[in-house]
Amino acid sequence: MKIAIPADKPDLQAKVGTRLGTSQYLVVIDLKTMAFEAVTSPAVSGQSISGIEVVVLAISKKVNAVLTGYCSPTAEKYLSASGIKVLTGVSGTVSEVVEQYKKGDLLKDMGVEQESESRRTKLDGPTLFHALKASFNQFVNLLPILVGVFLLIGLFNAFVSKELISSLFSGNRTLDTLLGACFGSLFAGNPINSYIIGGELLEYGVSLLAVTAFIVAWVTVGLVQLPAEISALGFRFALVRNAASFLMSIAIAFTTVGVLNFVKGLFL
C-alpha cells in the first residue's frame, strides 16, 4: 500500500504541507517497505492548474491514500473517483503522520480533529509561521514567472512583426478564431503568458474572437502534456477532454464576444 503526503522538503522529517496544491514536494511512501520517493510538485511552477497536476501526479504514482493539511473539493473529487482516500487536517512531520496512519490513530481521530480545527478562532505560533513561510515560498516561486513575463513582451515585440501577424490572421472571423484556438492548443506555459501574448495580438489588429479562443485553448488544451495525461488518466479520457476543450474554446470565444457586443449596445 502506498500513500502520498505533500511536504516542504524531500525527506521524512519534513513538515506536512498545509495545502496539497501548493507544497513543493509530494512524498510517496510504501507502507510495507517504508521506501519513499520525493517528487517535485507541479505547484513549484506557480501555474493556476498546478493543483490538478498534483492530482494527476498522485494518480500516476498509484497511491492508495493522500494525507494533507487541506485538499480542495475539486481535487478531492478527482482523487476519490480514482479510488484514492483523502485525509485532511493532518499536521506534523511526514514520519509522524505515517506512524499515526499505520497505527490507525489518524483515521480514528480525523473527525474530531477536523471539527476542532473548524472551531479554532486563534492561530498558534507554529501554524502561523508555517503559513507565512509557505506564502513566502510561493512568492519566490512566482518571481521567475514575473521576470519571464517582461522578457516575453520584449521577445514578442522584437521577433514577431505586424506583417507576420497580418499574414497569419486574414480577418476572416471563423478562420482566425480557429487559428487562435490552434495556437493556444500547441503552446504551453503559465496562463499569465497567454494574457500578455493576447494583449500584443490585439495591439497588432487581431480580432477579439481569435484572441479569446487563443487564451481559452492555452489554459484548457494541453497537447504538449498529452502523453502525461494519457498515462495518468487513459487515452480515451485525454483525447475526449482535449477535443472537447478545443471545440469549447471556439464556442466560448463567439459567446464572449457576442455578450460583450450586446452589453456595449445597451450602454452605448
Query: pLDDT 10s per residue in the chain (268 long)?
Result: 899 999 989 999 999 988 887 888 999 999 989 899 998 887 665 554 456 788 888 898 899 999 998 888 888 888 998 899 999 888 899 999 998 888 887 765 454 444 444 444 445 566 667 667 767 776 676 666 566 656 655 665 566 666 777 778 888 889 999 999 998 888 766 677 778 788 888 888 899 999 999 999 988 887 877 887 787 778 898 899 999 999 999 999 999 999 998 888 887 6
pLDDT of residue 3: 93
Residue 18 domain-assigned (yes or no):
yes
Please check whether residues 110 and 6 belong to one and the same domain: yes
Q: Which domain holds residue 212?
A: 160-267
Asked if 169 and 176 count as a contact pair (C-beta separation under 8 A), the reply is yes
Residue 155 included in any domain: no
Q: Are 93 and 15 in contact (CB under 8 A)?
A: yes
The count of structural domains within the chain is 2
Residue 115 lies in a domain: yes
> 95 and 42 share a domain?
yes
The pLDDT of residue 37 is 92
**Helix residue ranges per DSSP H, 13-82:** 50-60, 73-81
| Inter-residue contact 172 to 217 (CB < 8 Å) | no
Do 193 and 242 belong together in one domain?
Answer: yes
Is there a contact between 210 and 201 (Cβ–Cβ < 8 Å)?
yes
Residue 188: the pLDDT is 63
Paired strand residues for 7: 16, 25
Would you report the helix, strand and coil content of the chain in percent, each value rounded to 5?
Answer: 65, 10, 25
How far apart, in whole angstroms, are the C-alpha atoms of residue 172 and residue 36?
A: 55
Confidence (pLDDT) at 127? 62
Query: Is residue 45 included in any domain, yes or no?
Result: yes
Contacts of 260 (CB under 8 A, 6+ apart): 208
Q: Considering the domain boundaries, does residue 149 fall inside one?
A: no
**248 within domain boundaries:** yes
